[in-house]
A and B are shown apart, each in its own frame.
Chain A
């Protein structure tokens, strides 16, 4: 079979996706595209209409079918995979349930494909799950073919919002239309043979799709304020109190939108990006906080990872009735999470905003498979969220920024991992629904964040920034897998540091990303012993005489720092040795042996020693044992207890009237 050059295919793909409107030139190969015309029925809680979609077969395979995400069907029953994994039910009333139904489906040659549809369950063989649809094509798609589909569909939104749905007259419409999966030819990511990668809707994951072009026309009641992941092309008032809003989005992996009459809108601009923020009136006072947070994230990501390429960005703070839609990400639209009254020192809204924005990079631009590599999506993003929060709000105040105390975002991630009893249960490679003992969140978010910080500590901030810049350049608008990140890291580290860290960094990833061990280094103790000058009986011409060496004084010490590796993970660490004179020596230890001594001879005694004094090894599970001193400072503990005593004394008088 004659192979059609990829360039021609891409050229064709661009042609059929119409002219450039949003970005200057295509950012992705755009092998899928959607043109939709839908209407929101606020009585029936449905979104219905027509969709023209295309998919280009850029593989060398002959593909007999198309697979599509039908994710609203996760809310069709309490037996769907989503509810089987999470428990619970969509609700008790008919209106509570959600579903998506195809009314008619034709291919580009007007062949009726309705009878060729079949729901399949590639992940768990759960017959009650209808979130993946297989459509057998009238004619198999040959390499270079474009498959066109004309679909009439109706989507009923669920009532209890879990990522998507309605609450009263608030709507967050996500995962709402039949969306084409990703065809992976052999060699792409983990695929050994060509095939569709189209997973069911799971409790913890929902994203893996092609970068696509979306032209979406939405009819809604006139009083609704609408926001979407697209750029607003036109808005037109219709008869019967309705309006038509038309959006176009380019090179994004999903299209979501929201509508609610109660939204207020704040607009801002950061460099070339028009920012639109939708929020409930009760949170007027938080607008500046939210806009500042998103601009901080834009600045940090642009400087250290890569540019945000779209000229538009919409984000939403859902009202209390729609809180279930909070904390979700759809690249050019995302939702934050907050409450009507939240103190300024609690940086939860900022943290969620930074995190969800970050998914524009990790999952949006670097479109990894959230089902199979959840740590890339959530772990990398949480790592950058922590860096951003601690950078802009204070190194120890990224989450709680009170004048009397603070909690850093890095500490939050580290402690979620360190304090977990299940931190050795598995590594970072299971599919999202296969993490045992409910460790998905801790493993894919916090453990990954913690070891990424550790990697940063070892190779340096500049190097890890360069790793991510390269990752962005080489894998932006593609589908990277775990090993692609490892390869990029190895390449960049070798380029920047030669063999300073060895042949590659696999030794690190084998223990952290692919490993289950923990890291714990300890200073076991220090000792200072006087070296005695020689004094003893020696044979001489006159017989046995007492001899004393006067060349060496009695003020020489043999000082020892004793180190231990308590965990399985072996990482290079610095040791800081502080002598009584104030002199300090920094030693390096490869951290491989179970114990190590550093010994010194001289007139100076060791006062204290610390392993990893700069706290580079974030994944060290115990920082208390990282140092040892001969004169422990008890004042901070006494001060804490003193405060406790006084507080109790004064407090009790207040409540005893």
Chain B
């Protein structure tokens, strides 16, 4: 019953948070466009009136990219730096807006004001950033322990018993991933409800909340991950389509944005469900 309520309440809360989700979508798109736009312009200008784009019509063709010339090649290598910076900026943006999103999900009102969304985002930013980084570190540490160490031991040893252990530890790590997501989600709900001052207490609460309602929390998270994973898989198949005309490409772009927005809603559904479980 708790599980059903978490799913349904999460869905309702997501519906009430449509406006914040639209803002998150637009900001993400604008940020990426700041890099993608000039990059497109650079290539288009360099290619000029050449027919060479036919080379990449059917897919990746390395001679095309390499022949773009002495102006574009350094730009492409700078692009790698640009992508890294963009990635970092997007990371901060999404952590920033996670505060507002959790606040709107907590409020669960269709009259939720956009001003509150930005206010909460700013208020909770550093707490959310620290909590996110801490949980990411935990995942990395656990991943290193459960995946890296057995591989190192297996390489150092000549016996054939350790690879089995390595496989088992890998499965344990995969099974533990939903727990880490629950910890960060519960911690963020706690911070949205109690203010940003006590980050470690929020994370502690995250761990505590898992074990007080382990099965419902764990099953909820596994189902949400499965839904999101399945959706991303389907979306990747749809978006892999390669239209040959400008019109088709524009339609595919629109479709990609719709799919991305659905992906954002699925994420909000997860947050909303955890918020609902927190309140039960």
Q: Determine if B136 is an interface residue (Cβ-Cβ < 8 Å).
A: yes
Among A26-34, A111-119, A642-650, which stretch is in contact with chain B? A642-650
Among B5-13, B25-33, B105-113, which stretch is in contact with chain A? B25-33
Are A628 and B50 also in contact (CB < 8 A) when A415-B66, A623-B55, A653-B267 are? Answer: yes
Residues on A with C-beta less than 8 A from B244 are 635
Residues on A with C-beta less than 8 A from B83 are 648
Q: Determine if B159 is an interface residue (Cβ-Cβ < 8 Å).
A: no
* Interface contact A641-B36, CB-CB below 8 Å: yes
Q: Mark A616-657, 1 if CB is under 8 A from B, else 0.
A: 000001111111111011111111111111101111110111
* Interface contact A636-B91, CB-CB below 8 Å: no
Residues on A with C-beta less than 8 A from B29 are 645, 649
Q: Determine if A147 is an interface residue (Cβ-Cβ < 8 Å).
A: no
Contact residue among A624, A645, A657 (Cβ-Cβ distance under 8 Å from B50):
A624
Smallest CB-CB separation from A403: which chain B residue? B59
Residues on B with C-beta less than 8 A from A414 are 63
* Interface contact A657-B48, CB-CB below 8 Å: no
Smallest CB-CB separation from A632: which chain B residue? B49
Among B168-176, B194-202, B211-219, B249-257, which stretch is in contact with chain A? B249-257
Residues on A with C-beta less than 8 A from B256 are 642, 645-646, 649
Among B38-46, B115-123, B142-150, which stretch is in contact with chain A? B38-46
Residues on B with C-beta less than 8 A from A646 are 239, 256, 260
Residues on A with C-beta less than 8 A from B50 are 624-629, 632
* Interface contact A633-B63, CB-CB below 8 Å: no
* Interface contact B264-A655, CB-CB below 8 Å: no
Contact-size category for B: 35 or more
> What is the CB-to-nearest-CB distance from B33 to chain A, in angstroms, rounded to a whole number?
7
Q: Mark A292-307, 1 if CB is under 8 A from B, else 0.
A: 0000000000000000
Smallest CB-CB separation from B87: which chain A residue? A652
> What is the CB-to-nearest-CB distance from B269 to chain A, in angstroms, rounded to a whole number?
13
* Interface contact B60-A406, CB-CB below 8 Å: yes
Residues on B with C-beta less than 8 A from A621 are 67
Contact residue among B40, B47, B91 (Cβ-Cβ distance under 8 Å from A655):
B91
Smallest CB-CB separation from B232: which chain A residue? A650
Residues on A with C-beta less than 8 A from B87 are 648, 651-652
> Within A378-413, which residues are at the interface with B (CB < 8 Å)?
396, 404-407, 411
Q: Mark B111-143, 1 if CB is under 8 A from A, else 0.
A: 000000000000000000000100110000000
> What is the CB-to-nearest-CB distance from B101 to chain A, in angstroms, rounded to a whole number?
11
Q: Determine if B246 is an interface residue (Cβ-Cβ < 8 Å).
A: yes
* Interface contact B40-A623, CB-CB below 8 Å: no
CA distance A632 to B55 in the complex (A): 13
Q: Determine if B224 is an interface residue (Cβ-Cβ < 8 Å).
A: no
* Interface contact A637-B47, CB-CB below 8 Å: yes
Q: Determine if A362 is an interface residue (Cβ-Cβ < 8 Å).
A: no
Q: Mark A243-262, 1 if CB is under 8 A from B, else 0.
A: 00000000000000000000
* Interface contact B53-A634, CB-CB below 8 Å: yes
CA distance A621 to B66 in the complex (A): 10
CA distance A636 to B50 in the complex (A): 13
Residues on A with C-beta less than 8 A from B66 are 415, 418-419
Q: Determine if B56 is an interface residue (Cβ-Cβ < 8 Å).
A: yes
Contact residue among B52, B57, B98, B243 (Cβ-Cβ distance under 8 Å from A623):
B52
* Interface contact B136-A657, CB-CB below 8 Å: yes
Q: Determine if B86 is an interface residue (Cβ-Cβ < 8 Å).
A: yes
* Interface contact B64-A623, CB-CB below 8 Å: yes
Q: Determine if B68 is an interface residue (Cβ-Cβ < 8 Å).
A: yes
* Interface contact B264-A624, CB-CB below 8 Å: no
Residues on A with C-beta less than 8 A from B239 are 643, 646
Smallest CB-CB separation from A627: which chain B residue? B51
Are A644 and B94 also in contact (CB < 8 A) when A633-B51, A633-B53, A634-B44 are? Answer: no
**Chain B CB within 10 Å, residue with most, of A624, A638, A649:** A624
Q: Determine if B156 is an interface residue (Cβ-Cβ < 8 Å).
A: no
Residues on A with C-beta less than 8 A from B69 are 622, 624
Are A657 and B135 also in contact (CB < 8 A) when A635-B244, A652-B87 are? Answer: yes
Q: Determine if B162 is an interface residue (Cβ-Cβ < 8 Å).
A: no
* Interface contact B90-A648, CB-CB below 8 Å: yes
Smallest CB-CB separation from B61: which chain A residue? A396
Q: Mark A512-551, 1 if CB is under 8 A from B, else 0.
A: 0000000000000100000000000000000000000000
Contact residue among B28, B33, B40 (Cβ-Cβ distance under 8 Å from A638):
B40
> Within B184-200, which residues are at the interface with A (CB < 8 Å)?
184
Residues on B with C-beta less than 8 A from A639 are 242-243, 249
* Interface contact A653-B252, CB-CB below 8 Å: no
Contact residue among B40, B52, B260 (Cβ-Cβ distance under 8 Å from A624):
B52
Q: Determine if B203 is an interface residue (Cβ-Cβ < 8 Å).
A: no
Contact residue among B46, B63, B246, B267 (Cβ-Cβ distance under 8 Å from A415):
B63
> What is the CB-to-nearest-CB distance from B157 to chain A, in angstroms, rounded to a whole number?
13
> What is the CB-to-nearest-CB distance from B139 to chain A, in angstroms, rounded to a whole number?
9
Residues on A with C-beta less than 8 A from B56 are 636-637, 640
Are A656 and B57 also in contact (CB < 8 A) when A418-B66, A639-B242 are? Answer: no
Q: Determine if A608 is an interface residue (Cβ-Cβ < 8 Å).
A: yes
> What is the CB-to-nearest-CB distance from A490 to chain B, in angstroms, rounded to a whole number?
31
Q: Determine if A610 is an interface residue (Cβ-Cβ < 8 Å).
A: yes
> What is the CB-to-nearest-CB distance from A562 to chain B, in angstroms, rounded to a whole number?
12
Smallest CB-CB separation from A609: which chain B residue? B51
CA distance A608 to B54 in the complex (A): 13
CA distance A504 to B63 in the complex (A): 32
* Interface contact A610-B51, CB-CB below 8 Å: yes
**Chain A CB within 10 Å, residue with most, of B46, B51, B249:** B51
Residues on B with C-beta less than 8 A from A636 are 53-54, 56-57
Residues on B with C-beta less than 8 A from A648 are 32, 36, 83, 86-87, 90
Q: Determine if B95 is an interface residue (Cβ-Cβ < 8 Å).
A: yes
Residues on B with C-beta less than 8 A from A624 are 46-47, 50, 52, 64, 67-69
Residues on A with C-beta less than 8 A from B86 are 648
Smallest CB-CB separation from B132: which chain A residue? A657
Q: Determine if B15 is an interface residue (Cβ-Cβ < 8 Å).
A: no
> Within B254-275, which residues are at the interface with A (CB < 8 Å)?
256, 260, 263-264, 267
Smallest CB-CB separation from A522: which chain B residue? B50
Smallest CB-CB separation from A412: which chain B residue? B62
Q: Determine if B277 is an interface residue (Cβ-Cβ < 8 Å).
A: no
> What is the CB-to-nearest-CB distance from A301 to chain B, in angstroms, rounded to a whole number?
27
* Interface contact A652-B44, CB-CB below 8 Å: no
Contact residue among A405, A627, A641 (Cβ-Cβ distance under 8 Å from B52):
A627
* Interface contact B36-A629, CB-CB below 8 Å: no
CA distance A650 to B237 in the complex (A): 13
Residues on A with C-beta less than 8 A from B264 are 653
> What is the CB-to-nearest-CB distance from A416 to chain B, in angstroms, rounded to a whole number?
10
Q: Determine if B181 is an interface residue (Cβ-Cβ < 8 Å).
A: yes
* Interface contact B94-A656, CB-CB below 8 Å: yes
CA distance A409 to B181 in the complex (A): 45
Residues on B with C-beta less than 8 A from A641 are 36, 39-40
Are A650 and B32 also in contact (CB < 8 A) when A627-B51, A642-B256 are? Answer: no
Are A411 and B63 also in contact (CB < 8 A) when A632-B53, A641-B36, A648-B87 are? Answer: yes
CA distance A243 to B253 in the complex (A): 70
Smallest CB-CB separation from A608: which chain B residue? B51
Q: Determine if B235 is an interface residue (Cβ-Cβ < 8 Å).
A: yes
Contact residue among B43, B91, B98 (Cβ-Cβ distance under 8 Å from A637):
B43
Chain B residues with CB under 8 Å of chain A are 28-29, 32-33, 36, 39-40, 43-44, 46-57, 59-64, 66-69, 73, 83, 86-87, 90-91, 94-95, 98, 132, 135-136, 180-181, 184, 232, 235, 239, 242-246, 249, 252-253, 256, 260, 263-264, 267
- Which 8 A-B pairs give the minimum distances between C-beta atoms? A405-B60, A627-B51, A656-B94, A652-B90, A641-B40, A636-B53, A636-B56, A646-B256
Can you list 21 A-B pairs, Cβ within 8 angstroms, ordered by A?
A407-B62, A418-B67, A419-B73, A623-B63, A623-B67, A624-B68, A626-B52, A627-B50, A627-B52, A632-B49, A633-B51, A633-B57, A634-B246, A636-B57, A637-B53, A643-B239, A648-B83, A648-B87, A650-B235, A653-B263, A657-B181
Q: A627-B50, A627-B52, A657-B136 are in contact. List 5 more A-B contacts (CB 8 A).
A: A624-B52, A628-B49, A637-B44, A645-B36, A652-B28
